[in-house]
Chain A
Amino acid sequence: MRRVWIVMMLLGVVGYGAPLRVAVAANVSYAIEPLIEAFHKSYPHTKVEVVLGSSGKLTAQIRHGAPYDLFLSANMRYPEALYKEGLSVTKPVVYAKGSLALLSMKPRDFSQGLALLTQPAIHKIAIANPHTAPYGVAAAEALRHQHLYDRLKPKFVYGESVGQTLTYAMHAADVGLVAKSALFSPKLRHLKEGESWQEVEGRFYHPILQGMVRLRRTKQKRERDAFYHFMLGERAQEVLVSYGYSL
C-alpha cells in the first residue's frame, strides 16, 4: 500500500507540477485567456500562469533571473537581445503580427484616418511611450509618415505600456493609439468599427512583428515546449486572428 502512495505522490509532482509561467506583453493580455483555454483542450493538466507587463520591463526581469518559462514580446528586439545573451534556447520566432488602431469612447468621424487627430476638439491623444513600448514606436512611426508627429506632440499623453495607453483612451483622453487586439476584448467588443475605432493603415508603419522565445531557465521543459508549439499551431492562430492579429 505504501508503495502505491509514493508512486502516486511522485506522479503528482511530475504530472501536476508547478504551473507554467508565461511572460506576456500587454497587448496580448486580451487574447491570452482564450489562448490558454484552447491550449487546455490538448493539455488539460498543465496549469498556466500569466505574468503581464510591458515588454521592456519583462525583459529586464528575465535578465535578472525572473522564473519565467516563455516570453511573448510585443516586438523582436527584446527577445533577440535575450537570445544573444544566452537566456533563450532558440532564436525568436514570430507568433503574431500586431496592428495599431485609433480608439475614441465618443463616436467620431474616422473617415480621414489619422488626420482626425488634428481637429481642435481633440485635446489629448494617448500614445504608448515610444521609448519603452513597441506599439508606441509604431504609433510614432505612423504619425511621422503622415507628417503629423511634430504638430501633434503637444497633445500627447504617454502611457507607460500599451495597456496603460488603453486606460487613458478609455477614461481620460479624447483619442488613443492602441493595440488593435484590445478592441476584441469582451469590454470593447461592442464598439463599432468606423464609429468608435479604426485600424491605422498598415503601410504607415513597419509591421509589429511579435516574437516569442523559450527561456533556458525552466523546470518544465516538456510543458514549455508544448505551449511553444501550440502557439505556432493552427488552433492558436485561429484565436489570434479573431483578436485582430495577422500572420
Chain B
Amino acid sequence: MIELSLEKKLFGSRGAMTLKMSATLKRGTFVVIMGESGAGKSTLLRTIAGLESAKGSLVVHGEVWQDETTLLPIQQREVGFLFQDYALFENMSVEENLLFVKENRPFAKELLEMMEIEGLATRNVTTLSGGQKQRVALARALMRRPKLLLLDEPFSSLDPRMRKKLTQKIKAIHTHFGTTTLMVSHDVSEAKALADEVWFVQEGEICPSGIEVL
C-alpha cells in the first residue's frame, strides 16, 4: 500500500502554482500519470523518489518515507527511476552500470537477457543507441528489486517502433516482477496498454480515474 499526501509551492512554466496531491495506491498497481506540461507530474515523481522536497507525508509498504518528523534520504528509498535522458554512468560499461547498483552478476545477466541486450554487456554506454540506452537504464533500475518503479516520460526521445518495443518490455517486467509502477506519459496508446489506473494532473492536483476515460 502506498499513501501519499504532498504539498509544494512551485514556480514552473505556468507561473506560481501550488501542488496538492493525495492518493492511495495498492501494491503492484501500474499507474500512468497524464496531464498538461508543467502541471507538476515530474515533480510528483521526483518528490516520491526524494530528489525534491515537499511538505506532507509519504508511506510506502508501511515504511514512512516522509512525515512531520522524518525524511528518509534518497539512498535508503528502494526506488527504481527512469529518466528521459537515460542518465547512465558514462564512464562504465553496460554491465558495470548494473553491477554498480548491486553486485549480483546472475541477476544482471537475467535482466540483460530480458531486455535482449546481453550481447552489449561489455560495451561502453556512450556507444549505444537511444533505445539500447533506455533498456540498460530499465535493467539498472530493477537491480535492487525496488519497491517502486518510477518512469519519467522514458520514451519521449525514442522513435515509434522503439517506443512500442519498450512498452512491451515494460509490460513484461511488470507482469514478471509485480512492482508498483508510476509512469508519466503523454501517449494515450501507451497508457491503454500499460495502465491499471490513470491519474490526471491538472494545476497541481490529481484526479484519479480508471482507464475507461481514455
- Does A touch B (CB under 8 Å) in the complex? no
Which chain B residues have a beta carbon within 8 Å of chain A's beta carbons?
A: none
